[in-house]
């Protein structure tokens, strides 16, 4: 089973791109608070890269921005790519199946974005994945 559930805030505005096949993909990073504090009493966070595909990608890029609170359900994806120096690199990211906007923007209602399960044809293979 490969299931990830996160709640956090976007660290920057989502970036919308299109892969060579034409599919839209949005990438963003979530700051997810840890359940403990440092010795100085400060909270700590993990910064998790997230990607959304197709209609979800378009909605994320239209409605989300830096600082917005969201819940993401998805799966962990490990992909490989060639770095500028020619070496093979590994990156981990969450591929979102469901994104729920948890805060309101200018008095709007909470909005949930869902996409169907990603099949092998539209999966994030190394050749299509945004860098």
Complete domains list, the chain, with CATH: 4-36+43-114 (2.40.50.140)
pLDDT in tens, 68-84: 999 999 999 999 999 99
Q: Average of pLDDT values for 99-105?
A: 83
Res 42: pLDDT? 78
pTM, to two decimals: 0.75
pLDDT in tens, 17-69: 999 999 999 999 999 998 877 777 778 899 999 999 999 999 999 999 999 99
> Residue 110 — pLDDT band, cuts 50, 70, 90?
low
What DSSP state is assigned to residue 65?
-
Question: Is the pLDDT assigned to residue 127 strictly greater than 50?
Answer: no
Spatial CB neighbours of 108, under 8 Å, sequence gap ≥ 6: none
Burial class (CB in 10 A: 0-12, 13-18, 19+), 20: exposed
Spatial CB neighbours of 31, under 8 Å, sequence gap ≥ 6: 8, 9, 10, 11, 45, 46, 47
Q: Scanning the structure block, which residue is given the tokens 């060639």?
A: 82
**Neighbour count for residue 11 (Cβ, 10 Å):** 15
**Greater confidence, 48 or 127?**
48
């Amino acid at each position: 089973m490969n299931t990830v559930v996160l709640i956090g805030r976007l660290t920057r505005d989502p970036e919308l791109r299109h892969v060579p096949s034409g599919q839209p993909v949005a990438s963003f990073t979530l700051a997810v608070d840890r359940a403990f504090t440092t010795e100085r009493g400060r909270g700590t966070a993990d910064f998790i890269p997230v990607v959304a595909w197709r209609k979800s990608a378009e909605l994320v890029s239209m409605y989300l921005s830096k600082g917005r609170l969201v819940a993401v359900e998805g799966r962990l994806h490990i992909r490989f790519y060639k770095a500028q120096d020619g070496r093979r690199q590994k990156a981990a990211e969450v591929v979102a199946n469901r994104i729920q906007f948890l805060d309101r923007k200018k008095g709007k209602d909470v909005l949930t974005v869902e996409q169907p399960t990603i099949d092998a044809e539209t999966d994030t293979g190394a050749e299509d994945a945004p860098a």
